[in-house]
């Protein structure tokens, strides 16, 4: 009995095994292609909807109204009431100068004011007294005028009596002499009254001079009072003390920089964008800020303004390319970014820190929309 023959092995068996081995590779490759296509599509969608509108620069720095304080008057430093990096509030006393010389000058100025005020009071009293003298002089004129009329009548009467031989010539001559003497007294009284009235004008002029001297003395007193106040340096705003150079006992000239106060809020960012980016920016556009000091944390703000010229124009020596060889250099325009209230406080951010600013040009800055670039132009840039 013959056994059944063994079926022959298919010739393609080795090839099928190879095909099974390459199938996972093809599947992985196709998956990678699909993932890459999705990634490209996703990035393209992101670029089309968002990225093409973004303008960024890492040439940006945090700024703030850092106030450098110095005395308005020279003097020796008596007290330094703050330390480095100390938090202060507006109005806090920071430094005191020795004010003894200035207080002595103030006392002298106050004495000069008091003297001028006394002189004014004396002139007022003199004017009142002179008014009484004028009244007395006028009364004397009236009295002498009455005597002069009586003497004139006596003179006329005696002349008539002499003509009639009723009295002696001597009596008539005496009456004539009496009249002339009284007439002279009347003229003297009238001149005295005029002089008394003119004296009022002199007193008025003296009062004007005294008033001017009093005003000058008051001004000098006010200056002396201000100088006393200037010996005390106070914090102008809430903030933190920095760069303290004041030391007790040191002599400080007027205007010497003794310390600085960094404000506690109101920080901003000055971002220097390339000239090709500025055309897309308008005030009011939202800005994202990333600081090197805090990687990953995002601060927010808005474009406040654009500088009227490039940064090079504000340098000490602006570039002059009219002569010689010319190499074109991309210019940068400073853009002021106002940080949001929550982010613009002194804390993590400090003036001078380097940051990266990214402006979303899709935001409505409230400016001239006619100057806004079309998306196609932004994409073509």
Digitized pLDDT (tens) for each residue of the chain, 381 residues in all: 444 444 444 444 555 556 666 767 777 787 788 788 788 777 676 566 566 778 889 999 999 999 999 999 999 999 999 999 999 999 999 999 999 999 999 999 999 999 999 999 998 998 888 888 888 878 877 877 777 777 777 677 767 776 766 666 677 677 777 777 777 877 787 787 888 888 888 888 999 999 999 999 999 999 999 999 999 999 999 999 999 999 999 999 999 999 999 998 888 999 999 988 888 888 999 999 999 888 888 999 999 999 888 877 777 777 777 666 777 888 899 999 999 887 767 677 889 999 999 998 886 654 444 334 444 333 333
Q: What's the pLDDT at 192?
A: 79
Say if residues 306 and 333 touch (Cβ distance below 8 Å): yes
Beta bridge partners of 299: 289
Max alpha carbon distance in the chain (Å)?
A: 224
- The closest alpha carbon to 102, from 256, 292, 231, belongs to 231
- The closest alpha carbon to 150, from 183, 174, 184, belongs to 183
Collapsing DSSP to helix, strand or coil, 98 comes out as: coil
Same domain, 179 and 134: yes
Quote the domain boundaries for residue 78: 69-99+232-260
Say which residues have a Cβ less than 8 Å from residue 344's Cβ, sequence separation at least 6: 265, 266, 267, 268, 301, 338
Same domain, 163 and 118: yes
Of 260, 277, 309, which closes a domain? Answer: 260
Q: What's the pLDDT at 17?
A: 58
Same domain, 249 and 297: no
Backbone phi, then psi, for 360, in 5-degree steps? -90, 105
Report yes or no on 358 lying in a domain. Answer: yes
Alpha-carbon gap, residue 93 to 375, rounded angstroms = 56
What CATH number does the domain containing 149 carry? 1.10.287
Report yes or no on 21 lying in a domain. Answer: no
Say if residues 192 and 142 touch (Cβ distance below 8 Å): no
What CATH number does the domain containing 239 carry? 2.40.50.100
Report yes or no on 34 lying in a domain. Answer: no
For residue 226, the tally of other CB atoms under 10 A from its CB is 13
Alpha-carbon gap, residue 156 to 12, rounded angstroms = 181
Say if residues 236 and 256 touch (Cβ distance below 8 Å): no
Same domain, 80 and 108: no
Report yes or no on 1 lying in a domain. Answer: no
Note every long-range contact of 198-207, with CB atoms under 8 Å and residues 24 or more positions apart, other chains counting.
Answer: 199/130, 199/133, 200/127, 200/130, 200/131, 200/134, 203/123, 203/126, 203/127, 203/130, 204/127, 206/123, 207/120, 207/123, 207/124, 207/127
Tokens of 259: 């310390």
Same domain, 120 and 78: no
Same domain, 268 and 360: yes
Say if residues 259 and 245 touch (Cβ distance below 8 Å): yes
Q: What's the pLDDT at 213?
A: 94
Same domain, 61 and 131: no
Report yes or no on 33 lying in a domain. Answer: no
What CATH number does the domain containing 307 carry? 2.40.30.170
**Number of domains composing the chain:** 3
Tokens of 379: 């994409």
Q: What's the pLDDT at 261?
A: 95
Say which residues have a Cβ less than 8 Å from residue 223's Cβ, sequence separation at least 6: 109
Q: What's the pLDDT at 47?
A: 62
Beta bridge partners of 80: 95
- Burial class of residue 113 (count of CB atoms within 10 Å of its CB; 0-12, 13-18, 19+): buried
Of 260, 279, 308, which closes a domain? Answer: 260
Q: What's the pLDDT at 182?
A: 76
């Amino acid at each position: 009995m013959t056994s059944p023959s063994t079926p022959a092995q298919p010739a393609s068996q080795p090839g099928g095994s190879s095909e099974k081995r390459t199938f996972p590779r093809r599947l992985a490759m196709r998956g990678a292609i699909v993932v890459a296509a999705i990634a490209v599509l996703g990035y393209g969608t992101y670029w089309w909807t968002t990225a093409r509108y973004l303008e960024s620069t890492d040439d940006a720095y945090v700024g703030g109204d850092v106030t450098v304080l110095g005395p308005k008057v020279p003097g020796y430093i008596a007290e330094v009431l703050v330390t480095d990096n100390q938090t202060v509030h507006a109005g806090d006393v920071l430094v005191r100068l020795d004010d003894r010389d200035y207080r002595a000058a103030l006392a002298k100025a106050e004495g000069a004011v008091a003297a001028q005020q006394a002189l004014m009071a004396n002139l007022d009293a003199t004017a009142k007294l002179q008014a009484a003298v004028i009244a007395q002089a006028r009364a004397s004129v009236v009295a002498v005028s009455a005597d002069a009329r009586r003497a004139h009548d006596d003179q006329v009467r005696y002349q008539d009596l002499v003509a009639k031989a009723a009295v002696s010539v001597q009596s008539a001559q005496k009456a004539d002499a009496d009249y002339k003497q009284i007439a002279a007294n009347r003229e003297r009284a009238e001149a005295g009254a005029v002089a008394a009235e003119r004296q009022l004008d002199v007193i008025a002029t003296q009062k004007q001079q005294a008033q001017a001297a009093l005003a000058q003395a008051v001004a000098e007193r006010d200056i002396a009072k201000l100088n006393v106040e200037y010996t005390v340096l106070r914090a102008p705003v809430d903030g933190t003390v920095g760069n303290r150079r004041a030391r007790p006992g040191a002599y400080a000239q007027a205007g010497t920089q003794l310390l600085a106060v960094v404000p506690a809020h109101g920080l901003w960012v000055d971002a220097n964008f390339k000239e090709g980016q500025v055309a897309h920016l308008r005030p009011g556009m939202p800005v994202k800020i990333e600081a090197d000091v805090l990687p990953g944390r995002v601060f927010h703000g808005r474009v406040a303004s654009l500088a009227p010229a490039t940064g090079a124009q504000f340098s000490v020596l602006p570039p002059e390319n009219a002569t010689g060889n010319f190499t074109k250099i991309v210019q940068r325009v400073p853009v002021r970014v106002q940080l949001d209230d929550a982010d613009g406080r002194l804390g993590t951010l400090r003036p001078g820190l380097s940051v990266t600013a990214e402006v979303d040009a899709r935001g409505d800055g409230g400016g001239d929309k006619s100057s806004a670039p079309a998306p196609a132009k932004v994409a073509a840039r």
